[in-house]
């Protein structure tokens, strides 16, 4: 009885085919994961801004709820990993309570609404009683760089960290009606 198996050339051909499939498949998979992360952050940010307006409008308290954006890469206190952090917070008695949070190691926001400076600077967003969008840095108790955007749509671009082009989503905060947000 003769033992039958694969010849060396057949094995090499199979290995080459597998290598080619992996060379095509892995980058495509990683790209789709990054695109999904961009979509997730864009949709989550849109939801947070809508929820912010709903909370403020429902309670008629306009200096209690904020969307806090830490766009700079800040380390996670438990893991030490650096990530973008977006939070819907409730500020009462000098204490910030996180109601909803988004984190991403792969995504960043780009917009003129984001406050920049030396080091980590958090941007806070809120609506006033007239439905005007405001932003500031610092903390809800000690505000700096405060400005408002009355009757102006504002756009935040969600993109892969460090990328100047490629897949991105635009979160458009509409002036009218207040609290309306669109993701494109």
CB atoms within 10 A of CB 143: 13
Average pLDDT over residues 76-89: 83
Q: At residue 73, does pLDDT exceed 70? A: no
Percent of the chain having pLDDT more than 90? Answer: 54
In terms of residues, how long is the chain?
184
Sign of the Cα pseudo-torsion (128, 109, 107, 120, in order): negative
Whether 54 contacts 62, CB under 8 Å: no
Q: At residue 72, does pLDDT exceed 70? A: no
What is residue 50's predicted lDDT score, i.e. its pLDDT?
95
Average pLDDT over residues 141-155: 89
- Reference 121, options 131, 113, 132, 130; nearest CA is 113
Which has more pLDDT, 151 or 170? 170
Residue ranges per structural domain of the chain: 8-183
Separation between Cα atoms, residue 143 and residue 130, nearest integer Å: 20
CB atoms within 10 A of CB 61: 13
pLDDT in tens, 37-62: 999 999 999 999 999 999 998 988 88
Q: At residue 146, does pLDDT exceed 70? A: yes
């Amino acid at each position: 009885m003769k033992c039958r198996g694969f010849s060396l050339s057949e094995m090499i051909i199979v290995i080459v085919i597998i290598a080619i499939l992996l060379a095509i498949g892995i980058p495509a998979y990683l790209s789709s994961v990054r695109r999904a992360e961009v979509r997730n952050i864009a949709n989550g940010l849109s939801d947070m801004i809508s929820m912010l307006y709903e909370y403020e409008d429902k309670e008629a308290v306009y200096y209690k709820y904020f969307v806090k954006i830490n766009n700079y890469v800040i380390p996670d206190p438990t893991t030490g990993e650096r990530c973008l952090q977006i939070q819907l917070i409730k500020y009462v008695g000098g204490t910030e309570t996180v109601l909803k949070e988004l984190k991403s190691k792969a995504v960043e926001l780009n917009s003129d609404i984001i406050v920049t400076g030396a080091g980590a600077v958090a941007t806070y967003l809120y609506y006033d009683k007239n439905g005007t969008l405001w932003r500031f840095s610092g903390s809800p108790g000690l505000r700096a760089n405060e400005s408002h955007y009355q009757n102006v749509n504002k756009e935040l671009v969600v993109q892969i960290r460090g990328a100047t082009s490629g897949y991105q989503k635009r979160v458009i905060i509409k002036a009218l009606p207040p609290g309306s947000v669109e993701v494109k």
